[in-house]
Amino acid sequence: MAEDKEGNIWVGTWKNGLFVIDINKKKQIRHYNSSVATYSITRDFKNNMWFCNGNNLHFFNSSNNAIRTFKIPGQITDISADVKRNKVWVSSSKKDTKIYAFNYKTDAIESLETGVISDFSKKISLDKHNRIERIYGDAARAYRLHGCVA
């Protein structure tokens, strides 16, 4: 769940898509249908909304109300906006060693090699030193990877 710049609430569901609710009028204003879970919703530093379901990363441009969709390898598990680098970071459950990001400067998805492999990456965020923090977890282990990213 997240709030957009207008104060509307964006709510993801398990298998019924994403709903945007005008809290003041107490009514639904948008519905994005999906038969897979919506795992993460966030507002970026430009007041755009991002949400994911399956391996689809959706970008709602608040200036023109348009949606763009990007395919990411694996099930997307989390999204995090990064003001310093002008990126939106994405973690996925694909068993590889990469993390992904939408780069506002290039207007494209890019990948970054981490060197750490796991069956599942649950969370991606920035710590207080503005380092990428990716939290991994699988049946055998759970740990964090800190990396200074340019």
What kind of architecture, by CATH, is found in domain 2-147?
7 Propeller (2.130)
Q: Which residues contact 24 (CB under 8 A, 6 or more apart)?
A: 7
Q: Which amino acid is at 145?
A: L
Q: Is pLDDT of 46 > 60?
A: yes
Q: Which of 23-37, 68-82, 100-114, 135-149 has the lowest mean pLDDT?
A: 135-149
The pLDDT, as a whole number, for residue 101 is 93
- In the predicted structure, residue 29 carries a pLDDT above the cut 60: yes
For residues 73 and 112, the answer to whether their CB atoms sit within 8 Å is: no
DSSP strands (E only) in 25-75: 27-32, 38-43, 49-53, 56-61, 66-71
Cβ atoms within 10 Å of 23's Cβ, excluding its own: 11
With cut-offs at 50, 70 and 90, classify the pLDDT of residue 136.
low
